[in-house]
Amino acid sequence: MTRPFNFSPGPAMVPEPVLCRAQSEMLDWHGTGTSVMEMSHRGNAFTSIARQAEADLRELLAIPDNYKVLFLQGGATGQFAAVPMNLLGDRGHADYLNTGMWSKKAIKEARLYGEVNVVASSETQNFTTVPPRESWQCSPDAAYLHYCPNETIGGLEIHQPPQSDAPLVADMSSTILSRPIDVSRFGVIYAGAQKNMGIAGLTVVIVRDDLLGRALPTTPTFLNWQVQADNDSMINTPSAYAWYIAGLVFQWIKELGGLEVMAERNAQKARMLYEIIDNSNFYHNPIEPAYRSWMNIPFTLADAALDATFLQEAEALGLLNLKGHRSVGGMRASLYNAMPLEGVTALIDFMNDFARRHG
């Protein structure tokens, strides 16, 4: 029986081979007689899982040796506070780009710990575009420049990292592992796992060595990157099972051919869905084409009164969680790595049929 296609923005689809592998290892991981859920996080078995996961992630992203990789808890939301706590230092102020809901949340949190300079904002354009780089008003001595490469809610994506004299900090929760990136362009990358890396409960932080050891004196030990790095992300019990699942996802991506293959797959899926939207008078996507997301594609119907019918019929066909965020409305299809081409094809077939019957 074919499983439904889950278009949820997160927690999102997990690759079926990963689910099957986890199922087969649920009661007994590699002859240990215990589930990963039951292991001591300091025992040899879980230590080997953790080390392999880090090694595989480093290989996939070609992470340079002068970066630490942390496997933490608290979600990207926790890092909204951890970033300023760890990086503001004596400068006390940082630059932020505002391109959507998650940017706004990061800005709000950072203002609790220091001065925030919003270098540019597209809020007056309903976050449908990105202000030109030459218009950004950056501070000459900012501690860092923060941005969100992919805004999950609005479906806006900045496809190339911006040039910055200050260390570049990126919330990559919804775009990490979707394509190759040059990690050396960034001071810090952080990402919740529940979209492209696995299940909720795990947050990955990739931080350049020279940015460690700067935490404010009031920084909780739990959020201090230097302390976490010194203790292999285990100052307390980590999200062990989520860490394990992430490791299986890393192995799955490697088996498929790595991030170049992921990029080709994701670009194709997005291109197919945008094409049906653009060639229809029934569907509409509001984002400026240059900034359209590969991962999250919002669209509206010509008649909003048909939204409930669209969702009901889609669910009956096994096309799940297509409702758009309440702040945007309409529909949203999230096409993370685990979404197969067949799922996008099934959605397109349904959209064509629905538009024919109701257009």
As given in the structure block, the two tokens for residue 37 are 């859920």
pLDDT at 107 over 80: yes
* CA distance to 248, 285, 325, 345, per residue, from 334 (Å): 21, 14, 12, 14
Compute the mean pLDDT over every residue in the chain, rounded to the nearest whole number: 96
**In contact, 338 and 14? CB cutoff 8 Å:** yes
Band of pLDDT at residue 359, cut at 50, 70 and 90? confident
Q: Are strands 188-192 and 5-6 parallel, antiparallel or unpaired?
A: unpaired
Most distant pair of Cα atoms in the chain: their distance: 63
Name residue 329's beta-bridge partners.
none
Contacts of 111 (CB under 8 A, 6+ apart): none
Q: Which CATH class is domain 16-256?
A: alpha beta
User: In which residue ranges of the chain is CATH 3.90.1150.10 found?
Assistant: 258-358
pLDDT at 242: 97
pLDDT at 1 over 60: no
CA 273 to chain centroid? 20
CA 82/CA 86 separation, integer angstroms:
6
As given in the structure block, the two tokens for residue 178 are 């979707």
SS3 192: strand
Output the 3-class SS for 336-350: CCCCCHHHHHHHHHH
**In contact, 114 and 94? CB cutoff 8 Å:** yes
Average pLDDT of the segment spanning 329-334: 94
Name residue 94's beta-bridge partners.
116
Band of pLDDT at residue 328, cut at 50, 70 and 90? confident
pLDDT at 327: 76
Average pLDDT of the segment spanning 136-161: 96
CB atoms within 10 A of CB 101: 17
Band of pLDDT at residue 90, cut at 50, 70 and 90? confident
pLDDT at 355 over 60: yes
**In contact, 191 and 204? CB cutoff 8 Å:** yes
Average pLDDT of the segment spanning 35-41: 93
- For residue 104, the number of C-alpha atoms closer than 13 Å in the C-beta half-sphere is 12
As given in the structure block, the two tokens for residue 297 are 């594609």
> In the block, which residue shows the tokens 């706590």?
85
Q: Which CATH class is domain 258-358?
A: alpha beta
Band of pLDDT at residue 329, cut at 50, 70 and 90? confident
Tens of pLDDT, residues 275-301: 999 999 999 999 999 999 999 999 999
Contacts of 1 (CB under 8 A, 6+ apart): none
Its pTM surpasses 0.85: yes
Annotated catalytic sites, by residue?
102, 171, 195
Tens of pLDDT, residues 210-259: 999 999 999 999 999 999 999 999 999 999 999 999 999 999 999 999 99
CB atoms within 10 A of CB 3: 11
pLDDT at 357: 95
As given in the structure block, the two tokens for residue 33 are 């007689």
Band of pLDDT at residue 326, cut at 50, 70 and 90? confident
pLDDT at 325: 86
* DSSP one-letter string for 51-86: HHHHHHHHHHHT--TTEEEEEESSHHHHHHHHHHHH
pLDDT at 136: 96
User: In which residue ranges of the chain is CATH 3.40.640.10 found?
Assistant: 16-256
CA 102 to chain centroid? 11
Instruction: Answer left, alpha or beta for residue 67, where phi above 0 means left and psi between -120 and 50 means alpha.
Output: beta
pLDDT at 319 over 80: yes
Q: Is 100 exposed, middle or buried (0-12, 13-18, 19+ CB in 10 A)?
A: buried
pLDDT at 71 over 90: yes
pLDDT at 2: 75
pLDDT at 122: 96
CA 241/CA 41 separation, integer angstroms:
10
The CA angle 225-228-231, to the nearest 5 degrees, is: 150
Amino acid at 86: N
pLDDT at 339 over 90: yes
Share of the chain above pLDDT 70, in %: 100
pLDDT at 46 over 70: yes
Band of pLDDT at residue 106, cut at 50, 70 and 90? very high
CA 332/CA 319 separation, integer angstroms:
12
